[in-house]
Structure 1
Amino acid sequence: MTTSSIAEPIGVQRNESHMRLWAVVAIAAVVPALLMMGPVVAGQLATQMGMNASQIGLLFMSENGAMSLATLPALYWLSRINLKQASLAFGTVFIAANLLSIWAATSDVLIGLRILSGVAGGSLTVICIATAGTFAKPDRAYGFWVLGQLSLGAIGLTLLPRLFEVYGLGAFFMTLSILMALCLPLMRFLPERIQGKASKSASKASLWSLKPICGLAAVLFFYISLNGTWTFMGTLAGEVGINPQVSGDILAIATLFGIGGALIAAFMGGRRSYKIPLIIGYLVMVFSVLALLAEPDVLRYSLAAFAFKFTWTFVLPFILASLARLDSNGQIMNLSNLVIGGGLAIGPMLAGQIIETLSGVETFLYVAAALTITSLLLMLSLQKTKQEG
């Protein structure tokens, strides 16, 4: 069930399920705003607060790291506390940390407040990612999850430079506070406890049994490949002589393809088997990575970037939904939050090391393609057979 009571009339159940989806999507869109709007926020941190590149990098790493590490205490509390009350508490802390960030006088104070915001936001993410897995159509829920993040990120990248000109960096933190305050009334639609939709065999399986480990490894390899490739798309363009303004415009347009990929995944939701969308999405992603080899011209670079961004957001909901099918209490989806954060951190670091050591992007592209194929094979091992239904 996706509602809190099986005794309610079907109309009420459906309405509550829809409101629960709105709550998950809205909260999950607001929490990672720093990551989604990073380029413009980083520029404002430099110009307004005089932060250097290492300080800005530390701030981003601190908040995103805190979001990921919030997974660890959640292993204890996720199945023990009232999640409606917990989400209200975490939401309130998130709002307070962002309001205080407006008046942070030094980079050290601001970084401390971003860690606090990250812990609260990461805890909310744990609740939302586990809740999304309980829907009758988790692939659709995760599709709207990704769509919400991309859409808010695109709006922020467009509007924040104008707001910064008038109100400064405080406009970003105030906006986050207001958006989370608007989410607070929706939190009453979240469940008090996570009741997964795992099969009987999955519910008896340990969190550390083979299938969950394979699924989490698949997510890790996917994100290492994804973020390593995406981080150095601009570097690759420079190596092959594509003008930085042109490559920037191409990557901005690619975001629209990403929104399209998430939208299509959302409306394809409810499938009994994820094999076909997983195979199509992964293979197109591999081909888009390999298309960046051998000094692509502007046309091939553009097509590769568009295909990469589209398939990244198209296949991700089916990856998360595959994990959700194994989950009986939200703990697998909770750990996926930590794994995603690890992949986002490892990808650029691994890519940077390979590029610096071997003097070029192409070697990493081969590594990224291999990681993507490995992730696909691991994901396919999780899919139901005909005998399993």
Structure 2
Amino acid sequence: MTGNTTTSAGGLRKASPTGHIAPVLLAFLTTAGLFYVNIMPALVSGLVEGLGFSKSTAGYVASANVYGASLGALVAVFAIKHLRWKKAAMAALIGLILVDIASTVQTDGNILIAMRFLHGSIGGFLVGIGFSVIARTPAPDKTFGMLLVVQYGLGGVGLMTLPKLVPLYGTSVLFIGLMAFSLVTLAMLPFLASYPAKEKTVMEAERDGSGVYFKPLVLALLAVFFFQSANMGLAAYVIELGKHAGLTTDSISTTLGFANWISVAGAVFVYVIGLKNGRLKPLLLGLVVTLVGMFMFRFSENAMLFFIANVITGITWAFLIPYLLGMCAAFDGKGQMAALSGFFSKMGLASGPFVAALVIGESNYALLINLAIMGIVLCLVIAFMPARLLDQKAGKGPDTTPIPPQTAQEVTE
């Protein structure tokens, strides 16, 4: 199979799993279930400004959305082996659209928390499907990199525009934006190939009968959790942090939009270099740089330092999470561990805003920054062993797991 497309037996052109179009389509599919995370600051700020929610209540709404996603992702871990994943993805996308429609007319905080939990559960299930399919691609780390390119690129658009539209059109504009993304993804779904499970990975084969790799797998999953919780706990309140520091809403939203677009460079870098330098070196470098960026948020009253802090943490977030997720995906060929990493990722994304909502009070932003720094330090310590082990098995080179050839028969559902 060569090129970016291939033709199924029925004549429908599918994106070639070895081309450059398929990673983009898979990125949209996976992003659709969790796009609200990429506009989380706009969502939290929009609920505060548009509906008059307290900062804590807005944080709980955002947290409920991602805790629901954790539940959906966990279900996907066990269900993915038994699903016709394309039909399941289609049903999930339609479900997301329906819940977003209902959310546009809801103004009660408690009801909205329940509705967004339902939305998150459906979206998390969709992301679990997406993660498991990505794990079956020839280069999961690179595809995860493309996922971040899409998330940050479109997330930048959302962060630049949505906070300015909420005062004009109300909070419903946030959910309308999510609906539009789901509709676009629904139109892309038929052009994806079937992605059957891989043969056993090297790690999976060596583990048979011994369970020796259980500990590094758990550590890899925990590294994802702490990384996501630390980043999202701070990111969910970054607009409010900027306001507290004396910056204007227009200035903050523009800063976040440009910072997101610049941050795409981190994901592009992953897509280009893959595992040429292994996982350990880029993880160590990126996490140390993340600590520097988070510390700079202490000086957010300076608009330029606020911008630089957002750029640094954005680039490292987009650069590091593909490696962390790819590290988990390396432990099996069916995509179950990738789906499980999605569960831990969402638990982290939910726990960050939840803990932040508990400690934020009126303006405890210094404590919030300190907690985020502590989370990254934990990730740095925990990720070291599994990353080094995988590098040793791969010789610090590209993943050599054999990939079964794709055929025209395999693109049927």
- Letter of the structure 1 residue corresponding to residue 103 of structure 2: S
Question: 2:157 aligns to what?
Answer: 155
Q: 1:244 aligns with which of 233, 244, 247?
A: 247
Q: List aligned pairs for 1:15-34, cutoff 5 A.
A: 15=16, 17-18=18-19, 19-34=21-36
Q: 2:286 aligns with which of 275, 281, 297?
A: 281
Q: Distance in 1 between matches of 2:107 and 2:305?
A: 46
Q: Secondary structure of 2:391's match?
A: coil
Instruction: Give the CA deviation at 1:119.
Output: 1.6
| 2:144 matches 1:137 | no
Q: Distance in 2 between matches of 1:148 and 1:270?
A: 20
Q: Distance in 2 between matches of 1:54 and 1:183?
A: 32
Question: Which deviates more, 86-95 or 221-230?
Answer: 221-230
Question: 1:214 aligns to what?
Answer: 219
Change (3 A) 1:348 1:176: closer
Instruction: Give the CA deviation at 1:155.
Output: 1.0
Q: Secondary structure of 1:323's match?
A: helix
Instruction: Give the CA deviation at 1:116.
Output: 2.6
What is the TM-score of this pair, normalised by structure 2?
0.76
Question: 2:123 aligns to what?
Answer: 121
Check conservation: 1:64, 1:118, Cα contact below 8 A: yes
Check conservation: 1:282, 1:373, Cα contact below 8 A: yes
Question: 1:381 aligns to what?
Answer: 388
- Letter of the structure 1 residue corresponding to residue 155 of structure 2: G
Question: Which deviates more, 85-94 or 217-226?
Answer: 217-226
Check conservation: 1:4, 1:191, Cα contact below 8 A: no
Q: Distance in 2 between matches of 1:379 and 1:148?
A: 27
Question: 2:59 aligns to what?
Answer: 57
Check conservation: 2:162, 2:174, Cα contact below 8 A: yes
Q: Which runs of 5+ in 1 are unaligned?
A: none
Instruction: Give the CA deviation at 1:80.
Output: 0.7
Q: Distance in 2 between matches of 1:265 and 1:253?
A: 20
Q: What is the aligned-residue identity percentage?
A: 22
1:53-85 deviations in Å (ceiling 9; x for gaps) = 444333222221111111222232111111011
Instruction: Give the CA deviation at 1:339.
Output: 1.1
Q: Secondary structure of 1:175's match?
A: helix
Q: Which runs of 5+ in 2 are unaligned?
A: 398-413
Question: 1:367 aligns to what?
Answer: 374
Q: Distance in 1 between matches of 2:282 and 2:201?
A: 22
How many residue pairs get aligned? The number is 383
1:131-159 deviations in Å (ceiling 9; x for gaps) = 11222222221111011111222111223
- Letter of the structure 1 residue corresponding to residue 58 of structure 2: I
| 2:87 matches 1:85 | yes
Check conservation: 1:139, 1:266, Cα contact below 8 A: yes
- Letter of the structure 2 residue corresponding to residue 371 of structure 1: L
What is the TM-score of this pair, normalised by structure 1?
0.80
Q: 1:338 aligns with which of 326, 343, 357?
A: 343
Check conservation: 1:194, 1:330, Cα contact below 8 A: no
Instruction: Give the CA deviation at 1:316.
Output: 1.6
- Letter of the structure 2 residue corresponding to residue 29 of structure 1: T
Check conservation: 1:322, 1:382, Cα contact below 8 A: no
| 2:96 matches 1:94 | yes
Q: Distance in 1 between matches of 2:96 and 2:343?
A: 19
Check conservation: 1:75, 1:331, Cα contact below 8 A: yes
Check conservation: 2:77, 2:128, Cα contact below 8 A: no
Change (3 A) 1:194 1:58: farther
Question: 2:403 aligns to what?
Answer: none
Change (3 A) 1:66 1:251: same
Question: Which deviates more, 276-285 or 77-86?
Answer: 276-285
Change (3 A) 1:352 1:368: farther
Q: Distance in 1 between matches of 2:322 and 2:31?
A: 15
Instruction: Give the CA deviation at 1:86.
Output: 0.7
Q: 1:45 aligns with which of 47, 56, 59?
A: 47
Q: Secondary structure of 2:138's match?
A: coil
Question: 2:189 aligns to what?
Answer: 187
Question: Which deviates more, 203-212 or 54-63?
Answer: 203-212
Question: Which deviates more, 147-156 or 35-44?
Answer: 35-44
Q: Distance in 1 between matches of 2:166 and 2:298?
A: 38
Question: Which deviates more, 368-377 or 138-147?
Answer: 368-377
Change (3 A) 1:163 1:271: same
- Letter of the structure 1 residue corresponding to residue 230 of structure 2: S
Instruction: Give the CA deviation at 1:277.
Output: 2.4
Q: Secondary structure of 2:180's match?
A: helix
Check conservation: 1:143, 1:266, Cα contact below 8 A: yes
Q: Secondary structure of 1:69's match?
A: helix
Change (3 A) 1:20 1:244: same
Instruction: Give the CA deviation at 1:226.
Output: 2.7
Instruction: Give the CA deviation at 1:331.
Output: 1.5
